[in-house]
Amino acid sequence: MKKIAVLGNGRVGGNLATALTRTGHQVTVADRTPGAAADAARTARIVINATPGAGSLERLTALREELRGKILVDVSNATTDGPDGLPADLLLPGSSLAEQLQEALPDTHVVKTLNTMLFPVMTAPAMLTRPPTAFLSGEDPHAKQTVHELLTDLGWRKEWITDLGGIQTARATEAAILFVPHVIRSGGLAPFALTIAR
């Protein structure tokens, strides 16, 4: 059982919080109430960033002290929105939100994952007709192993999880968000995820 704080109580954050609580973890969800994010992060071992990516860097940099020594699981993508509300472009071309977070929070272990799928798949990967892939990017091997264990708790099989390497590899997975609006427009809002077929 791990103490986990989820920052963001929208569909992504709520879905993760419910699933992690169901698997036996002690989960706190921080809403937008002033001080809620700091209180939740202060008492957790693992903090999940499920806030909108466009404002994540500013929000989390303000929690530098509360996040010191913690594992920060970043599941967000920093994008601009098109007129239909779907991702239109990357806010950080040539970089990634995960890299920016790691640079701004050098005493925090940032791990990027679960950002290449629609939110229902994050906690129910077996719902798809083909096995999806969850990618891991991060500098700290122990932090990535801890996140790997969390993914296993959420139903991800070992062979469905791919460690891409350091935090810079998050550029690739964050750029994959540009597939999403086209896939949704062509096939509807049915759950899907990127996968590596071998």
Residue 183 has pLDDT above 90, yes or no: yes
pLDDT in tens, 127-158: 999 999 999 999 999 999 999 999 999 999 99
CA distance 137 to 114: 10
Phi and psi at residue 14, to the nearest 5°:
-65, -40
Q: Which amino acid is at 143?
A: A
In 3D, which of 158, 28, 160, 166 has the Cα closest to residue 109?
166
Alpha-helical (H) ranges within the chain are 11-22, 36-43, 53-61, 97-104, 119-123, 141-153, 170-175, 180-187
Residue 32 has pLDDT above 90, yes or no: no
CA distance 150 to 159: 15
Helix (H) or strand (E) holding 107: none
In 3D, which of 4, 2, 52, 1 has the Cα closest to residue 28?
4
Residue 189 has pLDDT above 90, yes or no: no
Angle 182-165-48 (CA atoms, 0-180°, nearest 5)? 65
Residue 44 has pLDDT above 90, yes or no: yes
Q: Which amino acid is at 198?
A: R
pLDDT in tens, 46-84: 999 999 999 999 999 999 999 999 999 999 999 998 888
Q: Are strands 109-112 and 134-138 parallel, antiparallel or unpaired?
A: antiparallel
Average confidence score pLDDT of the chain: 95
- Note the pTM of the prediction, 2 decimals: 0.96
